[in-house]
Chains A and B, each alone.
Chain A
Amino acid sequence: MADTQTERAFQKQDAISLKQIAGVSKKNARWYKSIGLGIKTPKEAIEGDYVDKKCPFTGNVSIRGRILRGTVVSTKMKRTVIVRRDYLHWVSKYKRFEKRHRNIPAHCSPCFRVREGDLVTIGECRPLSKTVRFNVLRIDRAAPAAEAGKKIYSSI
């Protein structure tokens, strides 16, 4: 439990009261929810120790609106990842497609172990920061164990 308190303020889930009541075991009091849409809440979210108010399963965000899929491009930020969505744009003059892509920053809960190249489902939520409006819901296909430094982009 000690390693969850890394900030200067005490990290706790607001919904859980930490007070001791005789006869009630408070060892593993943890609040979590199911987010619907057929997404199963990961075991790590239910059993884990982390405190993340922006986690869709153990925090105060609701998933509504768009659900998108993409591949993870960068995991260098604290608890957020960049998800890349590739798509084809039709140019009617030449009757051909051209490749385009968009990078979406998404919040990534500590219950997921995400690596660059993972195929991931993200869901729209309220703005969590200046650029983050999405939350990682599920890892669809983990990237194969690649050699160090090799990044894998797969178009959907």
Chain B
Amino acid sequence: MGITRDTLHKRRLTGGKKAVWRKKRKYNLGRQPANTKLGPKAVRPVRVRGGNYKFRALRLDTGNFSWGSESTSRKTRIVAVVYNASNNELVRTNTLVKGCIVQIDATPFRQWYSQHYGIEIGKKRKDETQQEEQQPTTAKAASNQTVSAVSRPVEKALLDQFSTGKLLARVSSRPGQCGRCDGYILEGKELEFYQRQMQRRKKSGKQ
């Protein structure tokens, strides 16, 4: 393969070259990057040091994303890669990496919310801007509603996303190592930050 992760090929702090005094060792080896793309699931197991396995995801289309403030997670479809702090190329090629911002399908979360609280979020109402109080379908939903949903409504930025059907989430697993693309839905300050970054990119792209 030839990819090593040793330090013998690097220069010293003073700038001097280090003389090569031994061959490359297997424990220093590196492998080709996974560059996980969006598509029907394709995961390859790789046998690594110690007999353990790493799961190199080559193509993924779903992931387990969690909604922090509501403490639930759902398996959802990943729609597109929308922002990457380190490399715009990875956004263009829809490459899934840890820390990139993706758009995910909102329906499982909307379904959970209506089951849990009995409220339909994201549905457009003609004259109301806030969530409408609906008759909860089950007794559990009724008790949940009185306790939480009223005192802790879903924030406006998230509501807007629910109405379009796509949520912004950040990938927090490493697809090339574990073979999964899991993450968390962006909320609050983080959501605001990334929305601003994407706006800036769009603006500079148009110029």
Q: In the assembly, what is the distance between CA of A19 and CA of B13, in Å?
A: 43
Q: Are A131 and B13 in contact (CB under 8 A)?
A: yes
Contact of B165 with A by CB under 8 A: no
B22 — which chain A residues lie within 8 A by C-beta?
none
A21 — which chain B residues lie within 8 A by C-beta?
69, 152
0/1 string, B165-207, CB within 8 A of A gives 1: 0000000000000000000000111100110010000000000
A8 — which chain B residues lie within 8 A by C-beta?
85-86, 197
Contact of B156 with A by CB under 8 A: no
Contact of A18 with B13 at beta-carbon distance under 8 Å, contacts A8-B197, A9-B99 already known: no
Q: Are A18 and B85 in contact (CB under 8 A)?
A: no
Contact of A20 with B by CB under 8 A: yes
Give residues of chain B (10-26) contacting chain A, Cβ–Cβ below 8 Å.
10, 13
0/1 string, A65-104, CB within 8 A of B gives 1: 0000000000000000000000000000000000000000
Smallest CB gap from B196: residue in A: A5
Q: Give the number of residues in A that approach B within 8 Å (Cβ atoms).
A: 16
Q: Are B10 and A10 in contact (CB under 8 A)?
A: no
A12 — which chain B residues lie within 8 A by C-beta?
190
B85's partner among A7, A22, A105 (CB-CB below 8 A) is A7
A20's partner among B10, B188, B193 (CB-CB below 8 A) is B188
Give residues of chain A (101-116) contacting chain B, Cβ–Cβ below 8 Å.
105
A130's partner among B10, B68, B152 (CB-CB below 8 A) is B10
Q: Are A22 and B68 in contact (CB under 8 A)?
A: no
Contact of A19 with B85 at beta-carbon distance under 8 Å, contacts A10-B194, A130-B10 already known: no
The main secondary structure of chain B at its interface with chain A is loop
Q: Are A19 and B197 in contact (CB under 8 A)?
A: no
Contact of A28 with B by CB under 8 A: no
Smallest CB gap from A127: residue in B: B7
Contact of A17 with B by CB under 8 A: yes
Q: Are A19 and B86 in contact (CB under 8 A)?
A: no
| Residue from B7, B10, B151, B193 with most neighbouring chain A CB atoms (10 Å) | B193
Q: How far is the CB of B140 from chain A (nearest CB, A)?
A: 20
Q: Are B85 and A9 in contact (CB under 8 A)?
A: yes
Q: Are A22 and B187 in contact (CB under 8 A)?
A: no
A19 — which chain B residues lie within 8 A by C-beta?
68-69, 187-188
CB<8 Å pairs between A and B, sample of 5? A7-B85, A8-B85, A10-B193, A130-B7, A130-B13
Beyond contacts A7-B85, A19-B68, A21-B69: 14 other A-B pairs, Cβ-Cβ < 8 A, are A1-B189, A9-B85, A10-B190, A10-B193, A19-B69, A19-B188, A20-B152, A20-B155, A20-B187, A22-B151, A22-B152, A105-B13, A130-B13, A131-B13
Q: Show the binding face of B for A, using Cβ within 8 Å.
A: 7, 10, 13, 68-69, 85-86, 99, 151-152, 155, 187-190, 193-194, 197
Report, nearest first, the 8 A-B pairs whose CB atoms are least far apart: A9-B85, A8-B85, A19-B69, A22-B152, A19-B68, A10-B193, A131-B13, A10-B190
